Amino acid sequence: MEAFKDIKVVIKEENENYGMFEISPLSRGYGHTLGNALRRILYSSLKGTGITSVKVKGVDHEYSTLDGVKDNVVDIIMNLKQVKFKTGVDEKFTCKISVKGKKVVTAADIEVSGDLEVVNKDVVLATLTDAGSKLEMELTVESGVGYRDVKNAERKEVGLIPLDCDFTPIEKISLSVEQARKGQETDLDAVLLGVTTDGSITPKDALIESSKILQEFSGKVMVAMGMSQKEVVELEEEANKVEVVAETAAEDSDEIGSWKVEDLPISKRSKTGLLAGGFKTISDLRNTTATELLNLPGFGNKSLNEVIELLNQYGVNIKN
């Protein structure tokens, strides 16, 4: 489809928890269409992992207190909800915490097994106040999508406390649509998508997963409407040709510098003067001066102002 031809995804900024991505060029209007679709999927449809129940030794329900522990059980539960996990498998895990003595208990004290990793180990869970204090807990960790509410039916035994769990690994999404250009076309959209995760998935992988979900959904709609699986696969293969690049100043400069003078949206008189002076591309104009241009045959102040105004739009400044 012409609206999605020659799309690039530029990684403008990236670290473990945050990434800024630019998707362009898109036909006018498609920026909001694509950006909002990805934003909603990122927030609602990515799989995450969290604590879904807890058993605290010596406690029958969440409204209890523990000797030698500064925090009540409700406070401990609220702290447990902040713990984030990373896993590559869709399994239920049983983790334990067993600590004693005067100390601050953190997520680093959670004993994990198998393909499970605690992401934010510095989260404080409880504070033990004296040498005789002891805290033993058994945690159930599961993977899921979206938000899961506690149901009373899940209280299968005395002492088992089910937890509400927000599985989504996305903490924040910023979205803006700006003007983009492609050659001489300037009436185009660029989607700027900022993705902040909880650390259990990289921003780049989060964007990839959301795009896969959008593609899979679209494919199922096309098949349901009578399109053959082969045609859907061909469209997916075409979509997979989108280029992903890291932003570099040189890349944009080289693209602009290669534009030909004869294709610029300026008057014929200005073009003739530039070509007569040996200026064939924008790159040739980068190191010239206003004085040099005014010395070209038939090139006056009107032509000079026209060229300077155009080049300023492309980030090229003519020296005096």
Does position 1 have pLDDT exceeding 80, yes or no? no
Which residues on neighbouring strands pair with residue 128, listed in sequence order? 69, 103
Query: 117 and 265: one domain?
Result: no
How confident is the model at residue 237, as a pLDDT? 65
pLDDT tens figures, 138-197? 999 999 999 998 875 566 788 899 999 999 999 999 999 998 877 667 788 999 999 999
Residue 161 falls within a domain, yes or no?
yes
Query: 33 and 114: one domain?
Result: no
Residue 139 falls within a domain, yes or no?
yes
Domain count, the chain: 3
How confident is the model at residue 185, as a pLDDT? 73
* 141 in Cβ contact with 149 (< 8 Å): no
Question: What is the CATH classification number for the domain harbouring 186?
Answer: 3.30.1360.10
Parallel, antiparallel or unpaired: strands 103-106 and 124-128: antiparallel
Which strand (E) or helix (H) includes residue 254? helix 249-257
* 62 in Cβ contact with 80 (< 8 Å): no
The better pLDDT of the pair 15, 153 is held by 15
d(CA 170, CA 210): 11
Laid out side by side, the sheet with 93-100 consists of 93-100, 134-145, 47-56, 160-162
Does position 250 have pLDDT exceeding 50, yes or no? no
Query: 79 and 157: one domain?
Result: yes
Across the range 207-227, mean pLDDT stands at 85
Residue 38 falls within a domain, yes or no?
yes
Question: What is the CATH classification number for the domain harbouring 103?
Answer: 2.170.120.12
How confident is the model at residue 151, as a pLDDT? 72
For residue 246, name the pLDDT band (cuts at 50, 70, 90): low
* Token pair recorded at residue 276: 């007569």
Cα 196 to the center of its chain, rounded Å: 6
How confident is the model at residue 216, as a pLDDT? 86
pLDDT tens figures, 257-305? 777 888 788 888 888 888 888 888 888 887 788 888 888 888 888 888 8
How confident is the model at residue 253, as a pLDDT? 43
Does position 248 have pLDDT exceeding 80, yes or no? no
Class of residue 30 by CB neighbours under 10 A (exposed 0-12, middle 13-18, buried 19+): buried
How confident is the model at residue 11, as a pLDDT? 92
DSSP structure string for 103-122: EEEEGGG-B--SSEEES-TT
Query: 30 and 139: one domain?
Result: no
Owner of token pair 């001489």 = 184
* 79 in Cβ contact with 129 (< 8 Å): no
List phi, psi (to 5°) of 291.
-60, -40
Q: Containing domain of residue 281, as a range?
A: 252-313
Nearest Cα to 49, choosing from 199, 187, 191, 267? 199
Parallel, antiparallel or unpaired: strands 18-27 and 8-14: antiparallel
d(CA 221, CA 211): 15
Does position 33 have pLDDT exceeding 80, yes or no? yes
How confident is the model at residue 313, as a pLDDT? 75
How confident is the model at residue 4, as a pLDDT? 61
The better pLDDT of the pair 1, 17 is held by 17
Query: 178 and 134: one domain?
Result: no
Nearest Cα to 185, choosing from 56, 314, 53, 95? 314
Query: 62 and 121: one domain?
Result: yes
Query: 266 and 225: one domain?
Result: no
Which strand (E) or helix (H) includes residue 30? helix 30-44
Query: 91 and 183: one domain?
Result: no
Does position 85 have pLDDT exceeding 80, yes or no? yes
Question: What is the CATH classification number for the domain harbouring 298?
Answer: 1.10.150.20
For residue 252, name the pLDDT band (cuts at 50, 70, 90): very low
For residue 71, name the pLDDT band (cuts at 50, 70, 90): very high
For residue 249, name the pLDDT band (cuts at 50, 70, 90): very low
Class of residue 19 by CB neighbours under 10 A (exposed 0-12, middle 13-18, buried 19+): buried
Query: 60 and 152: one domain?
Result: yes
pLDDT tens figures, 97-150? 999 999 999 999 999 988 999 999 999 999 999 999 999 999 999 999 999 988
Domain boundary at 101, 132, 166, which?
166
Domain boundary at 166, 189, 204, which?
166
d(CA 136, CA 140): 14
Domain boundary at 113, 138, 166, which?
166
Query: 127 and 237: one domain?
Result: no
